[in-house]
Structure 1
Amino acid sequence: MARTSSSTMRAAVLDAAGQPFRVAELPRPAAGPGQVRVRIHASGVNPLDTKIRAGQAAHAQQPLPSVLGMDLAGVVEAVGPGVTKFRCGDEVYGMAGGIGGLQGTLAEYAAVDAGLIALKPHNLGMREAAGIPLVFITACEGLVDRAKTQAGQTVLVHGGAGGVGHMAVQLAHSLGATVFATGTPEQAETIRQFGATPIDFTTTSVDDYVAQHTAGEGFDVVYDTVGGAVLDASFAAARRYGGHVVSCLGWGTHKLAPLSFRAATYSGVFTLLPMITGRGRAHHGEILEAATRLVEAGRLVPLMDARRFTLNEAASAHEAVESGKARGRIVVDIEAA
C-alpha cells in the first residue's frame, strides 16, 4: 500500500468477528481535549485481543468495523487542550484503546486519553515497552490495589511464566515478598530468574506445596492468573486467618467454602473498567509510572517472544498468541508514514 498522506494513516481494520484484518487507509485522528496523538511504533498483542477478534469476549465489546489492539508504545506528536503532562516528542506507552469504541493500537496513529499513558522507560525499546501495559496493570491492581501486598509476606502466583504472571512475580519480589510460582518443568528456570521459587503443578498437589513452603499454613497472597480449577486451588492455598486470593480470571462458578473455612478473602481484578466506563483512567497512568521506575531500576523486565510481525502480519501475530506456544510477549511493529 502506498505511503499515507499527512491527513491519513494505515490501520488494521476488523470488519466482522472472526474475519481477517484488512489494512486500510483511514483519517488520522486529532488530539481532542485531554488527549494526545501518539505516533505508534509498536502494538502489544494480548490473549484478550484475539478473543475480541473472534467475538468471544462479551465483557470487552468493540463495535465493528473497528481497529483492535490495546497496548502501545510510541511518540507524542500532538497535545490536545488541557494536557500539561506530556509534550511533543515524549516517548510514551500505555493500554489505551481497542475496546468500548476506543480506536485500537494496530494503527500508525491514535488519539488517546492522556491519563492512560506514561513516559516510556528510557532503557527499553518500543517493542519491549509495548509488551508491558495490560499485563503489568493487571498484576499491580491485584497485588497492590486489592491484596495490599507487604514486605515479608509469602505470595503464590499461579502461571508465573505467563503474561500477567511474570509481571506479578517481579512486582511481588520488588515489594519485598517471598514469591512462589506455579508452572511446568520447562518454565522453572524462567520463573526462578524472575525471583520466585518454581512449583511444578503437574506433579505437586496443593496440599503438598502448601505443606512444603508454608508449613501447612498457606500463602498470605495467592494470585490466580489462570482461572477455572486453578482458582479453586487458590482458595485451598490461602493462609488461615487473613490470607487473600486475587484472580484476573474469576469468571466461573466456585464454592467459597474452602476460603471461608480458612477465614480468608477474595478480590477480582477487571483491568478494562476505566477504559469502558471512563472512570479512574488516571490511575492506569500512575501504575505505568511505577512500572517505569521499576524497569529503570532493573527490577522489571518483560519476557519477549523473539518473532517479529508487521502491521500487514497482524493476523499472524494473533495466531502466535492463540497457539499458546509463544515464549513471551508478542508485539506488532508499526512504522508510521
Structure 2
Amino acid sequence: MRAVLLGEYGGPEKLALAEVEKPVPGAGEVLVRIHAAALNPVDAKIRNGLPIGPALPAILGADLAGVVEAIGADVTGFAIGDEVYGCAGGVKGLGGTLAEYIAADARLLAKKPKTLSFREAAALPLVAITAANAMTRVAIAKGEKVLVHGGIGGVGHIAVQMAKAAGAYVVATVSTEEAGKIARDLGADATVIRSTAVADYVAEHTAGKGFDVVIDTVGGENLLRSFEATTVGGRVATTNARTTIDLGQMHGKALSLHVVFMLLPMLTGNGRAAHGDILREIAEQVDAGKLRPLLDPHAFNLASAGDAHSLLDSGKARGKIVVDIQ
C-alpha cells in the first residue's frame, strides 16, 4: 500500500511517499481502508521528536475515516463495509493514518456520522474526544459563563459548541475579527481578540466576577491568563500543561485544574473502549445537528502530505487540515 513515511525527525521535508506492506488485522482489530485523515498539532510534535511516536521509519497521523474491509478475531459491533471514524494511530505501538490502510483497535472506532462526508468525519475524533473529556471534567451547569481560549482551533471550536449545548454563556478568544465571526457562527455568544487585557473582558462579560469555567487549549503561559479570568472556586481545563508557572493565583482563588491528555488510552492500552463510546455519542450529536467540524479549505492527498504539514506548522489553517487518501 501507499503510505507517507517519516524517516528521521525534522520538518515536513522529512516526509516521503513510499510503498509499504499492507497490515493484517489481529485479534481485536479491524482493517480499515482509509478515505481521509486529519492532522493535529501533536503530529508535528511527534514529527519533530516528541517521544510518544512510533519507531522510525514511521507512519504518522491519528485521525481517520474510512471503510471496514476485514475483521480480526474477537471483534463485535462492526461488519465489512461499515463506514467508521476514529483516532486510532500515530503513536507508539500503533500504525498511522497517512496511509491507504490501517489495522486499528476496534475499541477506538465508531460508525461515522451519517450526515458527514469522510473528510468531515476525519476532522472530528481527536479534538471531539478531547473536548468531551474536558466537558466531563469541568461539568458545566446551565447558565454558567464559560471562556474558551482558541475558539476556532481544533479543540476550541468543538468546546465552544459543546459548552453552548450545555446551556452556558460562551465567550471565545480569537486572533482576528474574521475568526471571531466564525466562532460566533459556531455558537459563541461573544468573542474577544486574544491580546485584549483579561481584566477588560472579565469586566465586560462577567461584571468583574470571572468565568465559572475556562477551557484553555493554548496552555503554557496562557494558563496564567486562564487563572486570572476564572472566578473564585472556578474550574480550569487545559490541553497543554507542559510548563512551569506560578500557581499562586490558583491557590488564592481555590481553583481546580483539570489536565486533559486524550492520547493516554492509546499509549497505555487502558480505557480505549471509552473513546469508542464517546465517538458514538459524538455521531449522534452531529446527526442531530448539534455539532459540526470546521475544515480548512485547502486540498491535500498522500503525495502532498508534506505540504499539509507545512500548513500545520504555519499556524495559518482555518479549521482542521484534512488529507484525502482515496
Same fold? TM cut 0.5: yes
Amino acid at match of 1:239: T
Of stretches 113-122 and 9-18 in structure 1, the one that deviates more from structure 2 is 9-18
- Specify the code of the residue in structure 1 equivalent to 2:95: Q
The answer for the alignment partner of 1:162 in structure 2 is: 153
1:276 has 2:267 as partner = yes
* 1:203 to partner: Cα distance: 5.2
Whether 1:334 aligns to 2:318 is no
Identical columns (%): 52
The answer to whether the aligner puts 1:40 opposite 2:34 as a matched pair is: yes
Distance 2:288 2:253 in 1: 38
C-alpha deviation, 1:212, in angstroms = 1.6
- For 2:195 and 2:62, locate their aligned partners in 1 and report how far apart those are by CA, in whole Å: 36
SS at the partner of 1:300? coil
Confirm whether residue 152 of structure 1 aligns to residue 143 of structure 2. Answer: yes
Aligned 1:127-138 pairs, distance under 5 A: 127-138=119-130
Match of 1:310 in 2: 301
1:6 maps to: none
Deviations 1:94-132 (A, max 9, x none): 000000121100111111011101110011000111111
* Separation (CA, whole Å) in 1 of partners of 2:304 and 2:239: 29
Alignment of 1:180 with 2:174, yes or no, is no
Cα separation, 1, equivalents of 2:306 and 2:72: 32
Instruction: Choose the corresponding residue for 1:226, options 202, 214, 218.
Output: 218
Distance of aligned partners of 1:202 and 1:156 in 2 relative to their CA distance in 1, 3 Å threshold: closer
Instruction: Kindly report which structure 2 residues correspond to 1:247-326, keeping only aligned pairs within 5 A, or say none.
Output: 247-326=238-317
Extract unaligned runs of 5+ from structure 1: 1-8
How far, CA to CA, are the matches of 2:223 and 2:138 in structure 1? Answer: 15
Q: Which amino acid aligns with 1:255?
A: D
Aligned to 1:143: 135
For the 8 Å contact 1:199–1:209, the answer to whether it is kept is no
- 1:15 & 1:158 partners in 2: Cα distance? 35
Partner of 2:83: 91
Structure 2 gaps of 5+ residues are none
Q: Partners of 2:306 and 2:181 in 1: how far apart?
A: 31
| Number of equivalenced pairs | 323
Aligned-residue CA RMSD in angstroms? 1.3
Report the equivalent of 1:78. Answer: 70
How many Å apart are 1:278 and its aligned residue?
0.3
The superposition leaves residues 175-213 of structure 1 with CA deviations (integer Å, 9 ceiling, x where unpaired) of 222211111222110111111133323453111211221
Partner Cα separation in structure 1 for residue 282 and residue 290 of structure 2: 9
Match of 1:21 in 2: 15
**Cα contact 1:320–1:326 (8 A) shared by 2:** yes
Per-residue deviation at 1:253? 0.8
Which amino acid in the other structure matches residue 211 of structure 2?
Answer: F
Q: Partner amino acid for 1:112?
A: A
Instruction: Report the alpha carbon displacement of residue 214 of structure 1 after superposing the two structures with TM.
Output: 1.4
- TM-score after normalising by structure 2: 0.96
Residue aligned with 2:253, SS: coil
**TM-score for both structures, normalised by structure 1:** 0.93
CA shift, 1:22, in A, is 2.4
